[in-house]
């Protein structure tokens, strides 16, 4: 019997609309667990016109009764978390007894932001295009075994000692490399000791909590951040994030074993976008790109930066499905393509005079390839808000069928607008999800 779990992962470079999808699906799950990234990832949920932008808090929070977990694979900024917590409470979301933070999650401190910002803006340094929120340096400290975990944040003596030692080192390094002014360890300690007391009620052994939910017959959805092509191992390195954004990160990032993963749901736009630096084979450099950007409101939920837009890339999607073990695809922003008479789709690449459908592992190879396109007929009819597959224009259904056939994964859901209700759920996918429903009374957090 398959476990009642699903991993929701971005199939491209992030920004695929995972927030909405997690929200829509959360009614079928006892808990939603975020497993990677930090507050550099913005997930937008729109319910009846009310807009939630969540960066650390899982997107199951607007769903009453759903338990929400910030896993050990997340890097956690307690000061930012308290601000986000206040915002969601002000919007009427219930939090107490539903939201938990792993005691093993790594803590982001001000010197992480200082170092990342200085490195991104230093002359002669390779610019990655980060959000400068300290994510990368926090993961660096984690792997160097010199980081601070949530369980340590709650120990005032250990916290004070750690901040004093870290500031002595980080201030010296940042000043020597970048000429950065030093941070005050005393003020940092005071700020974070105070934040620790406010965060303390939410901290728990979340691996035990999640495994307990599954043992009692409950169901868990794992919420990814960013996207497959930003994964530290499988993405367009070095233009990637610092964590495991693929489905495998759900295991290491929550403490739930690999045999407990039931299915993988990959979210893909009907086209492609990316934010920041790095190769992008199907990027559009003419007016069509601006059409997609404007219609799709392609601006970062966290930074407001305009996203680069490109045509759907089938080899990239096929690669993503392979490394994630994707069973189901969710296609978002189909309605953005409504006015197009013709829609190019990349079906392969040309590299050095040879034809290939494999993505090169190196940046130079990615920058050198030229996409090969087929052109599909547009539908030039509005699809926004359609909730039944049969009511989509024939050409839109053919576009989706092509995407499904060529990518190797089944399409289970289609988003036709930003609101929770602007969604098509296909019958086979609905039946698979119904098998994951569980009685909330059986799966309390205790």
Dump pLDDT digits (tens) for 136-173. Answer: 999 999 999 999 999 999 999 999 999 999 999 888 88
Full-model pTM: 0.91
User: Given this model, what pLDDT does residue 1 score?
Assistant: 40
Which phi and psi (to 5°) does residue 112 adopt?
Answer: -65, -45
| String of DSSP letters for 357-387 | -SPPSSHHHHHH-EEEEEEEEP--S--TT--
Is 71 a residue whose pLDDT tops 60? yes
The secondary structure of residue 183, as a DSSP letter, is P
Token pair for 383 = 């699809």
Count CB-CB contacts under 10 A for residue 9.
32
Contacts of residue 31, defined as CB under 8 A and 6 or more positions apart, other chains included, come to 60, 66, 67, 68, 69, 210, 213, 218, 219, 220, 221, 443
Residue 299: asked if its preceding bond is cis (omega within 30°), the reply is no
Q: Of 80, 226, 75, which is closest to residue 143 (Cα–Cα)?
A: 75
Say if residue 431's pLDDT is above 80. yes
Calpha distance 56→48 (Å, rounded): 22
Overall average pLDDT of the 201-208 stretch: 98
Percent of the chain with pLDDT over 90: 71
State the alpha helices, DSSP H only, in 269-393: 287-295, 314-324, 363-368
Structure tokens at 398: 């053919």
- CB neighbours (10 Å) of residue 295? 17
Per DSSP, helices labelled H in 126-267 are 135-143, 150-153, 156-178, 185-199, 206-215, 249-252
Closest CA to 395 of 332, 444, 341, 323: 341
> Is pLDDT above 90 for 98?
yes
Q: What is the pLDDT of residues 373-401, one digit of tens each?
A: 999 999 999 999 999 999 999 999 999 99
The active-site residue, picked from 39, 43, 112, 234, is: 43
CA angle (222 as vertex; 302, 28 as ends), nearest 5: 110
CB 392 within 8 A of CB 386: yes
Q: How confident is residue 212, by pLDDT bands cut at 50, 70 and 90?
A: very high
Question: Residues 110-119: what's their mean pLDDT?
Answer: 83
Helices (H), 8-155: 18-25, 78-90, 110-121, 135-143, 150-153
Q: How far apart are CA 266 and CA 327, in angstroms?
A: 8
What average pLDDT score do residues 357-367 get? 90
At 301, the pLDDT band (50, 70, 90 cuts) reads low
Most confident of 87-96, 169-178, 305-314, 390-399: 390-399
Per-residue confidence at 439, pLDDT binned at 50, 70, 90?
very low
Is 77 noted as a catalytic residue in this protein?
no
| Residue % of the chain over a pLDDT of 70 | 93
Indicate if the pLDDT at residue 316 is higher than 70.
Answer: yes
Say what the pLDDT of residue 344 is. 97
- The residue assigned the tokens 């450099």 is 285
375 - beta bridge partners?
Answer: 344
pLDDT band at 129 (very low <50, low <70, confident <90, very high): low
Longest CA span, the chain? 66
Tokens of 297: 């409101």
Is residue 128 pLDDT above 70, yes or no? no
User: Higher pLDDT residue, 303 or 140?
Assistant: 140
Helix (H, G, I), strand (E, B) or coil at 12: coil
Average pLDDT of every residue of the chain: 90
Q: Is residue 141 flagged as an active site residue?
A: no
CA distance 71 to 34: 6
In angstroms, the CA 406 to CA 412 distance is: 15
More confident residue, 216 or 433: 216
Which tokens sit at 134?
């300290």
């Amino acid at each position: 019997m398959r476990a009642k779990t699903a991993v929701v992962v971005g199939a491209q470079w992030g920004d695929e609309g995972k927030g909405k999808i997690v929200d829509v699906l959360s009614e079928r799950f006892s808990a939603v667990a975020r497993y990677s990234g930090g507050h550099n990832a913005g997930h937008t949920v729109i319910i009846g016109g009310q807009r939630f932008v969540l960066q650390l808090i899982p997107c199951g929070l607007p769903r009453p009764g759903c338990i929400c977990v910030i896993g050990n694979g997340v890097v956690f900024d307690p000061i930012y978390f308290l601000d986000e917590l206040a915002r969601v409470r002000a919007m009427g979301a219930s939090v107490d007894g539903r939201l938990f933070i792993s005691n093993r999650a790594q803590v982001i401190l001000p010197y992480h932001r200082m170092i990342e910002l200085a490195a991104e803006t230093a002359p002669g340094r390779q610019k990655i295009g980060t959000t400068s929120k300290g994510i990368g340096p926090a993961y660096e400290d984690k792997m160097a075994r010199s980081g601070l975990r949530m369980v340590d944040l709650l120990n005032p003596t250990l916290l004070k000692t750690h901040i004093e030692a870290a500031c002595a080192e980080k201030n010296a390094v940042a000043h020597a490399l970048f000429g950065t002014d030093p941070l005050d360890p005393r003020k940092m300690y005071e700020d974070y000791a105070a934040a620790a007391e406010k965060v303390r009620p939410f901290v728990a052994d979340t691996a035990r909590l999640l495994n307990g939910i599954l043992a009692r017959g409950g169901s868990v959805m794992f919420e990814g951040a960013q996207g497959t092509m930003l994964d530290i191992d499988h993405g367009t390195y070095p233009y990637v994030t610092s964590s495991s954004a693929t489905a495998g990160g759900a295991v290491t990032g929550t403490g739930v074993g690999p045999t407990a993963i039931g299915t993988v749901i990959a979210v893909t736009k009907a086209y492609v976008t990316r934010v920041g630096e790095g190769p992008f084979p199907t990027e559009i450099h003419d007016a069509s790109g601006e059409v997609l950007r404007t219609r799709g409101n392609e601006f970062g939920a966290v930074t407001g930066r305009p996203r680069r837009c490109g045509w759907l890339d089938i080899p990239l999607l096929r690669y993503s499905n392979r490394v994630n073990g994707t069973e189901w695809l969710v296609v978002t922003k189909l309605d953005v393509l409504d006015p197009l008479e013709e829609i190019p789709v990349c079906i392969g690449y040309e590299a050095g005079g040879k034809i290939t459908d494999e993505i090169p592992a190196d940046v130079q190879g990615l920058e050198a390839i030229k996409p090969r396109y087929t052109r599909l007929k547009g539908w030039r009819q509005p699809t926004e808000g359609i909730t039944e597959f049969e009511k989509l224009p024939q050409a839109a259904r053919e576009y989706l069928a092509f995407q499904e056939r060529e990518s190797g994964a089944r399409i289970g859901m289609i988003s036709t607008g930003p609101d929770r209700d602007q969604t098509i759920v296909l019958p086979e996918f609905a039946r698979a999800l119904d098998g994951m429903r569980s009685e909330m009374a059986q799966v309390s957090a205790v």
